[in-house]
Structure 1
Amino acid sequence: MPPRPDLAPDSGLERAEMEALQREIADAAVFEDDFAFDPSTLGDPLAAASSPDDPPIVAGVDQSFLTNAEGEQDRALSAVVAMRGGEVIERVHAVTPLEIPYIPGLLAFREGGPILEALEALSVDPDLLLFDGSGRIHFRQAGIATHIGVVRDVPAVGVAKSLLCGSPRGDLENLAEGTRVPIEANARVDAPDGTLLGYAVQTRQYDSPNRYINPLYVSPGHRVGPDTAADIVLALADSYKLPEPVRLADSYADEAKRGLEE
């Protein structure tokens, strides 16, 4: 399947055109495993060392924002951290103007441009992209992980901190570490009711009855199935709630932002 630059997010479109493009993205997306690497070697130097092939490259993607003299956000900074075998091999970022406000469900049209620029700056080709944002758990099954995954034709996973839409098939409060709860389509999603969109995944949990950590909302973006997406996030969430590539991209976005503001 070739990349689809013709489907790149365009912030100049009208809202109805953006939503129509997202439906086209969802139709082009593959929500099942379609990749050549071994997921068990992601982030594990020992597993990677025992593999006859080169470890896969996984890149985390996150955003930060810069403000103008009036204190208004006017630029997006996209940070990408590429890792192989649990080690960082490259970090890049790109800054572009913000052209539209945040609109729930249309995040890719606000942040997709700088993400694509940052990915172009990488000297390595990621085998997998992890986004701080949604994949199939989206009103039109085309969150930012799906949109960028399809445009680049790279396996992608969305890792969101809040649930945009869909219905959990169980209680999400105080889940045990390692638990996953299916998220299925409801009336707010352009999919038949009950369609498995992804999982609420509990990567970390306090050992205390008085406080708890909320789960992450993990969904396939492109060329990754929902169960594998959850497996990947659990495997890469080493000592923190977020999977390591996304956590490091978040940290690098803040670092790059400080460097530009100084």
Structure 2
Amino acid sequence: MNASRPDLVPDASLERDDMEALQREIAAAAAFEDDLEFDPAVLGDPLAASSSADDPPIVAGVDQSFLTNDAGDQDRALSAVVAMQGGEVIERVHAVTPLEIPYIPGLLSFREGAPILDALEELSVDPDLCLFDGSGRIHFRQAGIATHMGVVLDVPSIGVAKSLLCGSPREDVENLPEGRRVGIEANSRVDVADGTLLGYAVQTRQYDSPNRYINPLYVSPGHRVGPETAADVALALSTSYKLPEPVRLADSYADEAKRGLGE
């Protein structure tokens, strides 16, 4: 995969104000509505996929791990990509890139974007959809890592985050039943009108017990995907685990690749 918008590739040398300005430009270029070349319903219906005249869509999951130097400081990011088609893994790639800035909430893509783009460039297949471990539109400037990467590559993308970066749930999200979704709307911390639907808290899995519960995922469109479809995809691709399978396998592969480097 090559950059469709090389002018928007993350540049860790920028000043913070310039990074934030670039994110606003990315958000303006993003499409937070469906523009897919396949019916997302096939992702949750193997029979529909097998009966289609077209090949099943290729879905790539992206996750990161970190490597440390002799002093114990994180100095490199390892980005792992797992491409799946019809529920089967068809390719795995990874890339390691030096970290050039510290972790700053809201600027994750400038810290981790380079290894992600390097890893995606190694893929021999072209994903029809990418799922990122991180935020999409649920972001202060509507440009989380899924949006940034999606716009740069012009690929449909979804952000799947384990915690809520910003915005407000429209109702309580504690102990939601499996399959439930709750809208996340913009508040004063987000560069868009209050009340704008940014994404959903999605309960992909839940314990069958009154004494413990699983927190929801925070799913939002990155680029060329609408919020409803993003939530539908997260549910459709979550099997026996909380994370959608492409992201879960990318997380596992990142750990495996890290061990292979002796870290």
Shift of 1:44: 4.7
- Aligned equivalents of 1:140 and 1:91: distance in 2? 31
Alignment of 1:1-262 (within 5 A): 3-42=4-43, 44-261=45-262
Give the counterpart letter for 2:126 in structure 1: D
CA contact (8 A) 1:93 1:253 kept: yes
CA contact (8 A) 1:43 1:84 kept: no
- Aligned equivalents of 2:42 and 2:257: distance in 1? 29
Q: Which secondary structure does the structure 1 equivalent of 2:50 belong to?
A: helix
Give the counterpart letter for 2:35 in structure 1: D
- Aligned equivalents of 1:23 and 1:9: distance in 2? 13
Shift of 1:46: 3.1
Shift of 1:227: 0.2
Give the counterpart letter for 1:49 in structure 2: S
Shift of 1:43: 5.9
Q: Which secondary structure does the structure 1 equivalent of 2:218 belong to?
A: strand
Shift of 1:15: 0.2
> Structure 2, unaligned stretches of length 5 or more?
none
- Aligned equivalents of 2:43 and 2:62: distance in 1? 16
- Aligned equivalents of 1:141 and 1:115: distance in 2? 19
Task: Map Cα deviations across residues 74-94 of structure 1 (whole Å, 9 max, x no partner).
Answer: 100000000000000000000
Using the size of structure 2 for normalisation, the TM-score is 0.98
- Aligned equivalents of 1:64 and 1:46: distance in 2? 35
Give the counterpart letter for 2:61 in structure 1: G
Count of paired positions = 261
Give the counterpart letter for 2:260 in structure 1: G
CA contact (8 A) 1:43 1:85 kept: no
Shift of 1:38: 1.4
Task: Map Cα deviations across residues 137-194 of structure 1 (whole Å, 9 max, x no partner).
Answer: 0000000000000000000000000000000000011000000000000000000000
- Aligned equivalents of 1:98 and 1:136: distance in 2? 24
- Aligned equivalents of 2:229 and 2:217: distance in 1? 15
Shift of 1:47: 2.8
CA-based RMSD: 1.0
After the TM superposition, which parts of structure 1 deviate over 6 Å for at least 4 consecutive aligned residues? none
- Aligned equivalents of 2:192 and 2:40: distance in 1? 28
- Aligned equivalents of 1:201 and 1:141: distance in 2? 19
- Aligned equivalents of 2:13 and 2:215: distance in 1? 36
